[in-house]
Amino acid sequence: MQNIVIDTNVLVSALISPSGTSGKVLESIFVNENVCICYSDDIIDEYNKVLNMGHFKRYNFDTKRKKQIILDIVKLGQKTTPIISKTRLPDEDDRIFYDAAKASDSIILTWNKKHFPKKSSTLTPTEYMNKRTKIREKLL
């Protein structure tokens, strides 16, 4: 089983463009029994806070879809207790994702890889989809 922590920017991107890479990645993760989304209370709070920010009103997010994505993460995912690390991060706001990923041995799915230490396991949604495609091709 592969554990994944999803950065908020992937959710925002999926809501802005549901048929784009982030939207496709979320859909594939929700139906893949071999992937577990790991989250903490702080991550869920961050999702709710950011997705309800005023400057996203211009995108007119589907309110039901927004709520459903977070509900699906909680329902299908695994709650983890982050281990607070002393690792310095380029963007301390991303600590909640980094520490949850460390505690759950997860890959961080993000569009901002530069916000995490080079030694951390991070993939962009595009890299994640390419990796999945290569694995499927090997199985065929």
Q: Which residues pair with 108 in a beta bridge?
A: 5, 122
2 HSE (CA, 13 A, CB side): 18
pTM of the predicted structure, to 2 decimals: 0.89
CATH of the domain at 53: 3.40.50.1010
Q: What pLDDT is attached to residue 138? A: 57
| Distance between CA atoms of residues 140 and 129, nearest Å | 17
**Residue 75 domain boundaries:** 2-139
Q: What is the pLDDT along the chain (140 residues), one digit of tens a residue?
A: 899 999 999 999 998 888 999 999 998 888 887 899 999 999 999 999 998 887 777 777 778 888 899 999 999 999 999 988 888 888 889 999 999 999 999 999 999 999 998 877 999 999 998 887 665 555 55
Q: What pLDDT is attached to residue 118? A: 80
Pairing between β-strand 107-109 and β-strand 78-79 as defined by DSSP bridges: unpaired
CB distance 127 to 26 below 8 Å:
no
CB distance 105 to 3 below 8 Å:
yes
Report the domain count for the chain.
Answer: 1
